[in-house]
């Protein structure tokens, strides 16, 4: 799918990988972007940066069907279509099975992570697919592309990541059934499992912590650059033969237990 003048819905679009993807898609590909995020100040500032003709911000809770319905309506009203969906919203809340006293973890804490990182992805993906299915197909029969953000933790989760790893493994698990269901409609579904990237959250950590994390990266031994993630999203949109798969974007990293 060619991205020029296409409309992209990006959750977590006001910061981190989502924001970097929005910037890249507008500046490098000439796309239009809808930023779905809870942070109104950051979302509004990003729209000002990208230009109101290129972007819209919708304050959105990805776990709420009503919230997504309101956002989708606003996007359709402004741009008239949705062609791509990048689901980058997520929370890395630690959740051990047993606490220091040996007591079982709160189920509510586990559920919070699953609700945002897995159910939230499904919620937005489904709402966007509904609109994509109404698009006129392009020359290759494509109507839409969905990219869900997973994590290397889906494969080698660290201690305390039972909830986070489970949610991201679930994201990967949706690829094939979603690709099979939506493929006949001209909609492809893939996911990216990023490793260590220089997001604001990571950069805010103590330098010693950052250095220790980088030592787990194989080659090149550095953090991923934000545009490298955004470029991968563009690749998944533009290569019509990529479907139902996970791309591990992690410099051959294998995370250690802690």
Distances (CA, A) of 153 to 120, 164, 253: 18, 7, 11
155 as an active site residue: the answer is no
Q: What is the CA radius of gyration of the chain?
A: 18
Contact 49, 117 (CB under 8 A): no
How many CA atoms does the CB half-sphere of 154 hold within 13 Å? 26
Q: Give the C-alpha separation, 65 to 119, whole Å.
A: 10
Cβ-Cβ contacts under 8 Å for 17 (sequence gap 6 or more): 88, 149, 194, 197, 199, 226, 229, 230
State residue 252 phi and psi, 5-degree precision.
65, 25
Q: Which two tokens stand for residue 150?
A: 């997973």
3-class SS of residue 122: helix
State residue 161 phi and psi, 5-degree precision.
-110, 25
Catalytic residue among 24, 110, 155, 164: 164
Contact 32, 54 (CB under 8 A): yes
Closest C-alpha to 131, from 175, 62, 84? 84
* Cis status, amide bond into 220, omega within 30 of 0: yes
Active site amino acids = 164
């Amino acid at each position: 799918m060619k991205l020029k003048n296409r409309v992209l819905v990006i959750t977590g679009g006001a910061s981190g990988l989502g924001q970097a993807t929005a910037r890249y898609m507008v500046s490098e590909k000439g796309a239009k972007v809808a930023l779905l995020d809870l942070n109104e100040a950051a979302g509004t500032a990003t729209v000002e940066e990208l230009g109101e003709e290129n972007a819209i911000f919708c304050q959105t809770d990805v776990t709420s069907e009503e919230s997504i319905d309101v956002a989708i309506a606003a996007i359709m009203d402004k741009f008239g279509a949705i062609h791509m969906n990048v689901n980058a919203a997520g929370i890395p809340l630690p959740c051990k099975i047993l606490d220091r006293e040996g007591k079982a973890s709160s189920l509510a804490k586990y559920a919070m992570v699953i609700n945002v990182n897995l159910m939230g992805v499904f919620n937005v993906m489904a709402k966007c697919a509904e609109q994509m299915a109404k698009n006129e197909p392009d020359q290759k029969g494509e109507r839409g592309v969905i990219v869900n953000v997973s994590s290397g933790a889906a494969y080698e989760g660290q201690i305390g990541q039972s909830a986070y790893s489970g949610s991201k493994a679930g994201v990967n698990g949706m690829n094939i059934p979603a690709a099979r269901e939506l493929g006949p409609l001209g909609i492809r579904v893939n996911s990216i499992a990023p490793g260590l990237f220089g997001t604001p959250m990571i950069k805010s950590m103590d330098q010693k912590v950052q250095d220790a994390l980088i030592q787990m990266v194989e080659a090149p031994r550095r953090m991923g650059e934000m545009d490298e993630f955004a470029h991968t999203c563009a690749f998944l949109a533009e290569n019509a033969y990529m479907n139902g798969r996970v791309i591990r974007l992690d410099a051959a990293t294998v995370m250690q237990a802690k």
